[in-house]
Structure 1
Amino acid sequence: MIASLKKLYDNRTSDKFATLTLPNGETIQFPMYSGSLGPDVIDISPLKKADLFTYDPGFVATASCSSAVTYIDGNKGELLYRGYPIEQLAEKTTFLQTCYLLYNGEMPTEAEFQTYRAEITRHTMVTQRMADFMKGFDSAAHPMAVMIAVVGALAAFNHEWTNVKSSRSRQKSAALLVAKMPTIAAMSYKYSIGHPFMYPQNSYGFAENFLYMMFATPCEPYRPDPILVKALNRIFILHADHEQNASTSTVRLSGSTNANPFACVSAGIASLWGPAHGGANEAVLKMLNEIGSPDNITAFIEEIKSGKSGRRLMGFGHRVYKNFDPRAHVMRNTCHQVLEHLKLEDDELFRIALELEKIALEDEYFVERKLYPNVDFYSGIVLRALNIPTTMFTAIFAIARTIGWVSHWNEQHTDPEFRIGRPRQLYLGSKKRDLK
């Protein structure tokens, strides 16, 4: 088990300071802390004594918390879960092993993993009352809308596990969320197409079970293709966590109020639903469909380069990674394996994608700007090859990211600096005035 955040906090020391000189000549000193990795961080809390605060739209230069879960080095193109490179985890572990690592801090022993797997498996099914509750939605409802409501409603069905002050309660609710999320997602899909719900099979693995619940019917036996199971397992691992992104920050901000875990994760799903966050791989497929044919790629590229058409290049570059997205390396190999296995290399949409990938990796315009294909470019292609409808893309993202959300949520409750989130603002409205 990794050292508690409190212990890590207690060992934090500072022998460096930054000094701010105010217009009146007063100076304020700020401690500078060094993390185990990454740049130094300036502690700006002394500003409170001077009745000052910083202005940082989008929090692009603000560390909102201390964390020991995930580390990103955007310049190196590096992503570490609890210190382990994402490439190694995607190659050598299952999703549930990665879940255990993210929540507990260390890879499980065989005995620990079997206990954890059994707990997740035992809680994959939802109650009949929950299934009946889901039937109240319009059949045309987006799966993410259903998931926001149903996950939030889990607090009404599991109220005995909403005590955020209890580490046992937090562990139990985290396991329940990881276990039930794929079941809820698959049920939302089945309901939208008018098919009966397929309940989870305890003999199946995590990714295998999800494919079963998505595509099996009561009419005939169904066993997911092992190659496709492996591909989905990798998608889940690659999307399990990504440091303090928008949805994780949303979960943490909700958690700072001591809200129950089901409400916090529901808020995270709502944040993820935003097309600027969780909808990128869906946008990739939309772009490929708009291109229409491999013959149109050259014209499309020229439009992008000119910047006059207003069209956007989706699935390339990344706000954090200034180098190649490390997840994309893994997903690229998986993408080609799946297309070859399913003999889809001649599918027109996939031909467009592969030709666009080739150009982006060789064209000087893309190389100079480091507009490399990112994980969303490849994951969207793989999910389509798996016959996953685009409306489910973000739902699958939510299934994967649940473990990241609950790991950060649990961590913040062990943080000695835990307090309610309360950002400030730069007020630009009217000055005080009187009614006449």
Structure 2
Amino acid sequence: MGRPTGAEKPDQSLSVCDNRTGKVYNILIVDNSIQATAFKAMKADKMPGEREENETEKGLRVADRGFLNTAVIRSEITYIDGEAGVLRYRGYPIEQLALHSSHLETAYLLIYGALPTKSQYKVWEKEVLHHSATHADAEQFCRSFRYDAHPMAILTSAFAYLGSYYAEANPSLQGQNLFTKGDPASLAIMDKQIYRLIGKATTLAAMAYRVRQGRDFVTPPTGLSYTGSFLYQMDHLGEENYVPNPVLEKALDVLFLLHADHELNASATTVLQTGSSLVDPFSAVAAGCASLYGPLHGGANEAVIRMLISIGKPENVPAFIEAVKKREKVLSGFGHRVYKTSDPRSFIVRKTADEVFKITGKDELLETAMALHEAAMKDEYFVSRKLAPNVDFWYTDGILSGLIYRAMGFPLDFFPVLFAVPRVVGWLAHWRQMMLQEGGVKIWRPRQIFVGASKRDYVPIDERVGVEGLKKTPSPISHSG
């Protein structure tokens, strides 16, 4: 078939020939995508000797390990073009928002779809900051953790704990259509939980920080910005008329804005997966926080800084590179699942880092990071495996943002918390969109390709032959007295 010419419109469909049966199927293409369920119609008879678990007669399944090319939702929120280095919130380039907006204003944009007017923003800011206070029991809850508990463990638990206080926000108690009706009453309940979660995120994070420091908790102040209030709650030690450093306050606000959303990353997908059961938003956000905790996601900048500390000085980089090649060490913070060129946020973070370092002084690990970057860029081992860092990526989510946080005095294990607090905004934007989507919410239930044992009969214990092997038997554990 030739290509369409002139005024002809190309056929927006995909023709698939199933060579097993000779049948041809036409699948509609909408927004450059096809429905995976269309392949369920492609059925065939089971081949001789084929496993019944393949379910060939029930149609084809689409295998996509790690969701490399599976679209699970129609979204209007964030657009990323990793090849071109583009990131836009609701159509606005991230560079423009970082230059002109604030985290809280951008949060409004992400959740409601448009930049607020002055009066709209006034109401929004007032409600979020008003809902930053927590119940008095929250102090007892946070104090119940060990002094050395990871702050992400505290924060994750605290988000789930919050949900126990708000029965009116629980679809299990109020009816499963509590957040999906879209009427004024339902939207008002939804908005109140959004205020609570964004407002209390900083408070709970500050409490997790102060538990580790052995300090009393601080009541959220009035008259400060969102990030200003956060820094106040973490750093205030009873000084009269204390206010956070405005440069650091602005830097943190910019980083919060940059980290507010990143499309369907692991944690946002976790929130939607959990939310698809119509659980309360506090539980969904707690699930997202647990997902963010991992070193392949929100724990990345903590892992990167620990790596740099282990390397030490720039002259130790060559030995570290060789250890990585021998798989004795792990290289953290290089490469990206989405960006294949410059991360658009990197230029903003560079400028922010310069401003912060003027106040705090430059971190000595920066030279080590630069040496590691240069060495990996030149090494064919990393280039051929696409492990070499892109020109600017390491400045963003990993090394430089971690060095900024370190320069500001945050402990290493608090870095993922500084990722989680602003990402609450993105999680809620995606959750709200799913609750209000046309056609309602359908629970997410992915398929699997079963490759385990076929049907087998039970064997009494005295007649069994043991199965040996490292991954086939439980590991023995030594127990102390």
TM-score by length of 2: 0.81
Higher helix residue share:
1
Quickly say closer, same or farther: Cα 1:293–1:54, change in 2 above 3 A.
Answer: same
User: Paired residue for 1:8?
Assistant: none
* Alignment partner, residue 31 of structure 1: 28
Q: CA deviation at 1:214?
A: 1.0
CA shift, 1:203, in A, is 0.6
Question: Which residue number in structure 2 is paired with residue 179 of structure 1?
Answer: 199
Given the alignment of the two structures, is residue 84 of structure 1 paired with residue 92 of structure 2, yes or no?
A: yes
Q: Which amino acid aligns with 1:322?
A: K
> For each residue in 1:129-177, what CA deviation from the matched residue of structure 2 results, as whole angstroms up to 9, or x when unmatched?
2222222222221111111211111111122233323222222111110
Q: What is the CA distance between 1:361 and its match in structure 2?
A: 9.6
**Equivalent of 1:240, from 249, 255, 260?**
260
Deviation at 1:42, TM superposition (A): 1.8
- In the other structure, the counterpart of 2:369 is 353
Alignment check: 8 A CA contact 1:103 1:406 kept:
yes
- Give the structure 2 partner of residue 45 of structure 1: 37
SS at 2:72 equivalent = coil
Contact (CA 8 Å) 1:33, 1:41: kept in 2 or not?
yes
Give me the whole-angstrom Cα distance separating, in 2, the residues matched to 1:219 and 1:111: 34
Deviation at 1:351, TM superposition (A): 3.1
The corresponding residue for 2:428 is 406
Contact 2:85 2:343 in 1 (8 A): yes
Which of 75, 80, 102 in structure 2 is aligned with 1:72? 80
SS at match of 1:18: strand
Residue of structure 1 equivalent to 2:179: 164
Query: 2:234 & 2:11 partners in 1: Cα distance?
Result: 55
Asked if 2 retains the 8 angstrom alpha-carbon contact of 1:141 and 1:192, the reply is yes
**2:311 is the counterpart of 1:314:** no
Contact 1:228 1:338 in 2 (8 A): yes
CA distance in 1, matches of 2:419, 2:130: 23
2:408 is equivalent to residue 386 of structure 1:
yes
SS in 2 for 1:41: coil
Kindly provide the amino acid, as one letter, of the partner of residue 316 in structure 1: F
Matches within 5 A, 1:178-327: 178-218=198-238, 220-301=240-321, 304=324, 307-327=325-345
Structure 1, unpaired ranges of 5+? 1-13, 35-39
2:401 alignment partner AA? S
Query: What runs of 5+ residues in structure 2 fail to find an aligned partner?
Result: 1-9, 43-57, 171-177, 181-185, 460-481
Counterpart AA for 2:443: I
**Partner residue of 2:348 out of 315, 330, 347:** 330
Residue identity matched to 1:252: L
Give CA deviations for 1:236-268 in whole Å, capped at 9, x if unaligned.
011100111111000001111111100100000
TM-score, length of structure 1 as denominator length: 0.89
Please tell me whether the aligned partners of residues 101 and 108 of structure 1 are also in contact (alpha carbons under 8 angstroms).
yes
Corresponding residue SS for 1:42: coil
Deviation digits for residues 3-61 of structure 1 (CA, Å, limit 9, x no counterpart): xxxxxxxxxxx951112222112232222122xxxxx2222222234433211110111
Listed as ranges, the matches of 1:335-346 within 5 Å are 335-342=353-360, 344-345=361-362
- Pick the aligned partner of 2:152 from 144, 152, 163: 144
Partner of 1:231: helix, strand, or coil?
helix
- Aligned twin of 2:107: 99
Q: Secondary structure at the match of 1:58?
A: coil
**Identity, % of aligned pairs?**
38
**Could you say what the CA RMSD is over the residues aligned between the two structures, in angstroms?**
2.1
Correspondence for 1:432: 455
The alpha-carbon distance between structure 1 residues 330 and 53, as it changes in their structure 2 partners (threshold 3 A), is: same
